[in-house]
């Protein structure tokens, strides 16, 4: 490993100060930044205060809160918005302790006396795993935001559609008759979605797919898809028939092409 500092800090926890000192000195010489702790309570405090801590290296058997209980407490602090990987150090080879640690979400364990080179390789592997988990967390948060945005846009379109479909008042009717080029939508178009209506109206104005795409901020292929959907839903044969049905000041022709 090069001497450049890792982007992740390592929380080193052991009730024996000499072990903490030795581990921190070795890891820092290998490029990691360490946060030394000599008790679980101190580790909880440092973890809460420092969001750069992403790797936890702790002893299994400590007075008060043992290593497994410490990791579980850290998981509660982290919640769903923060991830970390943990490695357990133990002076015993008790299989039940190992099983319990793995079930608690601890990624790996090493038995004392520790082979420092093997431990370093293990930390490097967990750092890679941590980066992947952080990417997944960021993608999950982004997907939630996109989902919220999508639902908000759908709500806006539904509200807009309600306004479009609601009967206009006397003043609105009078104003609409004075607007040049305003087209009254035939009943056959009432089944269309707001976006389909937008595309249909622009077709009625004689705009090309390229012009419609520019005005609505979508691609030409998307415009073609919407035109195809409108033709299918209104049972019209082609784009020309659709344009005639929506052409301004052509009520007679609209009645003819929609009365089938």
**Can you give the pLDDT at residue 161?**
67
**Can you give the pLDDT at residue 78?**
92
Q: Does domain 183-258 have CATH number 1.10.10.10?
A: yes
pLDDT band at 181 (very low <50, low <70, confident <90, very high): very low
Q: Does domain 9-137 have CATH number 3.40.50.2300?
A: yes
Tokens of 219: 């691609």
pTM of the model: 0.52
Distance CA 39, CA 15 (A): 6
Mean of the per-residue pLDDT values for the chain? Answer: 81
Domain locations in the chain? Answer: 9-137, 183-258
Digit-coded pLDDT (tens) for 207-228: 888 899 888 888 888 888 888 8
Digit-coded pLDDT (tens) for 113-141: 889 999 999 999 999 999 888 788 777 66
Cα separation values, 222 from 21, 75, 93, 199, 219, Å: 63, 46, 63, 10, 5
């Amino acid at each position: 490993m090069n001497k450049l500092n890792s982007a992740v800090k390592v929380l080193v926890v052991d009730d024996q100060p000499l072990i903490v000192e030795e581990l921190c000195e070795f890891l820092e010489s290998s490029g990691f930044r360490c946060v030394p702790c000599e008790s679980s309570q101190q580790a909880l405090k440092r973890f809460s205060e420092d969001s750069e801590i992403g790797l936890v290296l702790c002893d299994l058997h400590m007075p008060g809160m043992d290593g497994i209980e410490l990791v579980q407490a850290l998981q509660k602090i982290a919640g769903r918005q923060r991830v970390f990987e943990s490695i357990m150090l133990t002076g015993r080879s008790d299989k039940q302790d190992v099983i319990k640690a793995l079930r608690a979400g601890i990624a790996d364990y090493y038995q004392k006396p520790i082979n420092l080179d093997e431990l370093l390789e293990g930390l490097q592997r967990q750092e890679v795993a941590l980066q992947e988990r952080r990417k997944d967390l960021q993608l999950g948060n982004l997907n939630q935001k996109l989902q919220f945005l999508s639902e908000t846009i759908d709500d806006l379109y539904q509200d807009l559609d309600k306004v479009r479909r609601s009967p206009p008042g006397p003043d609105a009717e009078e104003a609409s008759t004075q607007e040049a080029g305003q087209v009254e939508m035939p009943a056959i178009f009432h089944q269309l979605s707001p976006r389909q209506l937008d595309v249909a109206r622009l077709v009625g104005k004689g705009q090309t797919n390229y012009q419609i795409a520019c005005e609505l901020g979508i691609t030409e292929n998307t415009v073609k898809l919407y035109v195809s959907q409108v033709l299918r839903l209104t049972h019209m044969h082609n784009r020309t028939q659709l344009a005639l049905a929506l052409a301004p000041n052509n009520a007679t022709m609209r009645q003819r092409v929609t009365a089938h």
